[in-house]
Amino acid sequence: PGMAVAALRPRVAALGRRLGAPGAPGERRDTFLAKGCANLDKLKDLCNEGKEHPSTLFQLYTQAVLDITYFEENQLVDEDFPEESSLQKLKELICVLSEPEDLVRECSIKEEPVNILGAELLECLYWRKGALLYMYCHTAKERSEWLQENIATFKKCLNDGVHYLMKMLSFRCPLQLDEDVSLQDKDTARLLSEGIFSDTHLLAMMYSGEMCYWGLKHCGEEKQESLESTDRVSNSDPGSSSQSVLLDFQETGTNMLTKYVAVCEGPLKGQGWNTTTAKQMLHYFVESHN
């Protein structure tokens, strides 16, 4: 625990400073923020006692990170991602959301983060990073002047966002269906075998497919090299070196959306999931391929 506490202390202090940062709410106590504060206080006490198992401390820290950044994320969305400041804020939030994994890597050489934080918390962290970039790109793509001047940055955000969402979809192994699985509900079985454990998993497929579509549509002509020269959005996120790998927007987008449509029109038929947009994008991928 000593090592864990030592590594946690500066991070807990940094989260505390975020709460006191300019623009942080005075009167308006957001529920997520209140929860984050409570977890932070609890964490400080546990660190002082020094008896708790590191994984408990790490999970509590992760929960505090998720709550506090969620408040900040909502502020960005409410303000419609201000052009002059939001990219910096975005990088900052992604760094903070990467801290729990960095922390685990720092303290436990042999254990994988998923064994210490659990699949669910890691899914949340990656979902939040991917969805944040999705929302940012959704807004940024409408700013044509900005887009022309910053196409490499835009492509980088799309690339990283899709990587985060694909990673989010990879933490739980899809259920292997065999003769022994006696699931009463064939549709549920099919969802689990596709690796879809919640609505969020399905949204992650749609979001990543849509980001690939924007990538192909807005950056199709863009030279691949320009991406190499720009900083990674999360340039201080050692856990995500895979993001520098360039995605094939067309292939990835086609895979994600094909799966999305198959699930929505198969096991989730009649549940209110719309496939019209996904099909239009798939059509675009086919057209652009030919």
Tens of pLDDT, residues 124-171: 999 999 999 999 999 999 999 999 999 999 999 999 999 999 999 988
- pLDDT at residue 156 in the model: 95
The shares of helix, strand and coil residues in the chain, as percent rounded to the nearest 5, are 70, 0, 30
The torsion angle over the Cα atoms of residues 66, 69, 71 and 74, rounded to 10 degrees, is -110
Name the more confident of 117 and 230.
117
Tens of pLDDT, residues 178-232: 655 555 567 666 666 676 767 888 999 999 999 999 999 999 755 444 444 444 4
- pLDDT at residue 179 in the model: 54
CA distances from 283 to 205, 254, 261, 278, 288 (A): 17, 9, 12, 9, 9
Q: What percent of the chain has pLDDT over 90?
A: 58
- The CA-to-CA distance between both ends of the chain, in Å, stands at 58
Name the more confident of 25 and 256.
256
For residue 268, the one-letter residue type is L
The torsion angle over the Cα atoms of residues 19, 24, 30 and 34, rounded to 10 degrees, is 20
Tens of pLDDT, residues 164-192: 999 999 887 666 666 555 555 676 666 66
Task: Name the token pair of 171.
Answer: 């933490």
Over the chain, what is the mean pLDDT?
84
Tens of pLDDT, residues 19-65: 876 555 544 457 888 888 899 999 999 999 988 899 999 999 999 99
Task: Break the chain into its structural domains and give their ranges.
Answer: 1-117, 152-290
DSSP state string for 53-116: -HHHHHHHHHHHHHHHHHHHHHHHHHTT--TTTHHHHHHHHHHHHHHHHHHHHHH-SSS-HHHH
Band (pLDDT 50/70/90 cuts) for residue 81 is: very high
For residue 256, the one-letter residue type is M
Which has the closest alpha carbon to 87: 127, 124, 135? 135
Q: How far apart are CA 201 and CA 166, in angstroms?
A: 10
How many angstroms from the chain centroid is the CA of residue 62?
Answer: 14
Which pTM does this prediction carry? 0.86
Tens of pLDDT, residues 230-248: 444 444 443 444 455 678 9
CB atoms within 10 A of CB 198: 12
How many angstroms from the chain centroid is the CA of residue 225?
Answer: 25
Enter the DSSP assignment of 172: S
Q: How far apart are CA 215 and CA 52, in angstroms?
A: 46
